[in-house]
A and B are shown apart, each in its own frame.
Chain A
Amino acid sequence: MKRIGIKKRQEQAVLKQKRPLGKRIWKARYVYLMILPVIVWFALFQYWPMAWLSISFFDYNLYLGFAGSKFVGLQNFIDFFTGLDFWRLIRNVVLMNLYSLAVAFPMPIIFALFLNELRNQKVKKAVQTVSFLPHFISMVAFVTIVTEFLSPVNGVMADIFRFFGKEPIYFLGQAKYFRSIMVFSGMWQETGYNAIVYLSAITALDMNLYEAAMVDGANRWKRLIHVTIPGIMPTVVVMFILRIGSLINANFEKMYLFQNSTNLEVSEVIQTWVYKRGMIRYDYSMGTTAGLFNGLVALLLVIMANRLSKRYSDSAGIW
């Protein structure tokens, strides 16, 4: 194979740009063919349904459709923003996610760094496998396990409390524990799985950097601080941006399953509210209004986080 210099390659790239679009597409037709199903899927299931967001401007009658529904303009938005629930929903989801961001977000990074430092491959694989498993438990089973674990009557936690001569605590019956239960159970479920992306980032690091650091006398700790962590920082930033984007999203299934009358004050979030409004009360207009608001805020948050990451880090952001 002929070696081509950088200059030559750049010239070829410029020439390629000058070719008509149709020719370029035809040239790469097999690549486009492969991506076609994804484009079709996105168009059908992600973009086409967006047309129905206009439900939020109607008093929508499910059976009669748009033709039989009354146009109400922004009334649904006014009702949603001025309703008793609005600030409570926002507060709950934001506090929950900030808590999760502060406590749960760093855990997969720490875990990946820990796994990377393990020298015994068998132990490493065993730890990795065990840590992945909770991710694959269905949410209903997962919530049942946590509920039983925390039960003040026959739960493991109750037994531990009794062993130390303390009265068991009804964790799921007190709003003040709800966020912690959500965050820490989420850590148990997702830390191992979320660490995959950081592990792959670590394995992609240039080994020459480690060798150079060793030559310079860096011990394992210093190699971790000065090579590994800076090396995976772009990945961390991208993951952070994605998390920021979902700052007002919540794990609906989990929130809903853990919800009871005593934690409703902190467990009701936009997603559970939308579900109750839309799927239980058939108030699709109000449900869609809340969902649309949720989506727009999430979009703004992602744009904001992306800009911040570009400004304050070496990362190129997501786009």
Chain B
Amino acid sequence: MRRKIYGRVMAAVLAAALLTAGCGSGTQETQESGTAAQQETGQEESAGSKEFSYFGAIWSPYQETSPIFDELMERTGITVDFEWVNEDGLDTLLASKVAAQDLPDVISGGTKAPAAINDLISQGLIVPITDYLDNELANYGRLLTEEDRLYLTYQDDGEIYGFGLVMDVPQTFSTMIRTDWLERVGLDIPETWDDWMEVWRAFKTQDANGNGNPNDEVPFGFNYDMIKLMMNVFGINSNGEFSVVDGEYVYDPEHPNYELFLDTMRQMYEEGLLPQDFVTTAGTDFNTLGASNTLGSLIGYAEYAKNYTVSCRELDENAFYQCVVPIQGPTGTQSIPARAKVTGSAYITVAAIENGHLQNVLDFFNYVYSDEGIELTNYGMEGEFCEMVDGSPMIKAPYNESFAVAREEGLIPSTIPFCFTEDSYMQILTGGLSYEELDDAGQTFMDGLTINKPYYYTEPAILQTASYVECFDLREQQVSLRDRYIMGQISKEEYSTQYQALKDAGLGQMIEDVKAAYTEMTQ
């Protein structure tokens, strides 16, 4: 009998425990909702308080809170309820929020737009800011040229939706080559395409890094995510997918030089002049390659010259990546993309209107883009982050020692829209030192910022028409074809047949649509 009672008690306890566990999250949610409701009520009670919610991506070394954000909120009198999410998880979490009808007032993809922003726009969930650029967001509007406005325009309705980082800083891409390797193989800095091929072949066949192993050199590399830098060598001034040829907006695979690009890349890959795993060499993998003392030359951010030189010197004290002018391609062209000045990364949602927060959002960011706001976000508060020298703010140590330190402390907050100035960029870049005071790695980095100026081109905007958005999987498959052809996995006939199949499946229509959109836009 006693055993039976114990059994019943145990069963009841177990069932109660399971029920409690199962309902745990729901209870928590209810409590949170309650708290949120209480807060809302509290805010309603404190008359005059302004607020809005901001959902955005965050990445290292940025922190979720910073004295700069606090100061911005204090100066504007607007409280921002920040909700940060790791970059990788942003799109998934945003989808959940939209589905749960829990839209924040502002969403931001960090340095780029959230992946599905066009779908949100087409569903009417994003507020156009075109009409505010000359009034409520006038401080942002003043920073935009006509070209910038075109770049930001959404093609389907001609409205501007996104605002974000304004980069008033020098262009930063460059070509770099190991001069110590050149000495070892007895060659000079290459100038023509044939020179470059000769150098790469020498790097490949000789023990250019002098470690006794003639087979570990990778003559030339680029971050796979920036393969457009390689297209430039062949005269394709692409934004990653499209370029403008004789005033016409052309999908890269349709560019007259694309076949030359493909064939030459295939030949280079076959000869081992490119990394064998170049399709997966991006981000940190590329940095690992650059720091491994096995990479002979590259195209990428000019700062790589400094970073990789420093890293490689731990293995070879003579290592030196020198920034040089862009590679002269087989067609004799030389070009390198200028970094986009504006990026549409933040968007105001219809929730801001529904919540009555639209004016708060506009006021807050209008201040961020004002002269005071620009000074605050770039130099911080006087006395704490910077001091005035001859009427100009000078960032103090340690905040000017590296971008990482500055960002960790809240300066140059790319997690929200703001304007990054050339002056603060250079102050942090040089750590307050003059060119002469920099070491050779720092100097070549600085050189990279200047020697490429004559070769910069402005990337055309990606015209995100409805068919462009719809064809995302077909564009992905075209990239797959490109890479497989370069790697010698398919023949030219197979490439052509399969590419034609993609065009027939909708890519062809997209090509025509974006072409028409560009013509309409430029007219």
Hey, which bits of chain A sit against chain B, CB under 8 A?
30-31, 33-34, 36-38, 40-41, 61-65, 83-85, 147, 151-153, 168, 170, 172-175, 260-262, 264-265, 273, 276, 278-284
List, in ascending order, chain A residues with CB within 8 A of B482's CB. Answer: 261
* Contact among B92, B279, B474, B506 for A262, CB-based, below 8 A: B279
- A261 to B227, alpha carbons, bound, how many Å? 13
Give min CB distance, B510 to chain A, whole Å: 13
Q: In the complex, how many angstroms separate the beta carbon of B342 from the nearest chain A beta carbon?
A: 24
Interface centre among A40, A41, A151, A260 (most CB of B within 10 A): A260
* Per-position binary interface string of chain B over residues 108-148, scored 1 when its CB falls under 8 Å from any chain A CB and 0 otherwise: 00000001100110011100000000000000000000000
A-B contacts, 19 listed (Cβ < 8 Å): A30-B11, A33-B15, A34-B15, A37-B19, A38-B18, A40-B19, A62-B98, A62-B123, A63-B123, A65-B101, A173-B277, A173-B280, A174-B487, A174-B489, A261-B482, A261-B483, A280-B91, A282-B120, A282-B123
Contact residues in B for A33 (Cβ distance below 8 Å): 11-12, 15
Interface residues on B, range: 35 or more
Residue in chain A with minimal CB distance to B120: A282
Q: Are A85 and B92 in contact (CB under 8 A)?
A: no
* Docked CA distance A31–B472 (Å): 53
Q: In the bound complex, how far is the Cα of B275 from the Cα of A40, in angstroms?
A: 55
Which residues from chain B contact A84 at a C-beta distance below 8 Å?
Answer: 474, 501-502, 505-506
Residue of B115, B350, B473, B483 contacting most chain A CB atoms (<10 Å)? B473
CB contact under 8 A between A36 and B11, given known A84-B505, A262-B487: no
Residues A264 and B7 in contact in the complex (CB < 8 Å), given A168-B276, A172-B277, A281-B116: no
Q: Tell me which of B11, B98, B501, B505 contacts A282 (CB under 8 A).
A: B98
Residue of A nearest to B7 (CB): A30
Cα–Cα, bound, A93→B120 (Å): 31
Taking the closest CB of chain A, its distance from the CB of B381, in whole angstroms, is 39
Q: Chain A: which residue is nearest B10 at the CB level?
A: A30
Q: Does B469 contact A (CB under 8 A)?
A: yes
Q: How distant is the Cα of A63 from the Cα of B22 in the complex, in angstroms?
A: 28
Contacts of B505 in A (CB 8 A): 83-84
Separation of A82 and B117 alpha carbons in the complex (Å): 27
Residues of chain B lying within 8 A (CB to CB) of residue A261:
279, 476, 479-480, 482-484
The answer on a CB contact under 8 Å between A278 and B95 is yes
Cβ contact of A40, chosen from B11, B22, B91, B277, cutoff 8 A: B22
A153 to B11, CA, bound (A): 58
Q: Mark B455-484, 1 if CB is under 8 A from A, else 0.
A: 000000000000001001110110110111
Q: A261 CA to B279 CA in the complex, in Å?
A: 7
Chain A residues with CB under 8 Å of B277's CB are 151-153, 170, 172-173
- Contact residues, B1-48 vs A (CB, 8 A): 7-8, 11-12, 14-15, 18-19, 21-22
Q: How many angstroms from the CA of A84 to the CA of B472 in the assembled complex?
A: 13
Q: How far is the CA of A281 from the CA of B116 in the complex (A)?
A: 5
Given A36-B15, A84-B502, A172-B280, A264 and B469 contact (CB-CB distance below 8 Å): no
B208 interfacial contact with A, CB 8 Å: no
Q: Does any Cβ of A come within 8 Å of B419's Cβ?
A: no
On chain B, the residues within 8 Å of A40 by CB distance are 19, 22
On chain A, the residues within 8 Å of B472 by CB distance are 276, 280-281
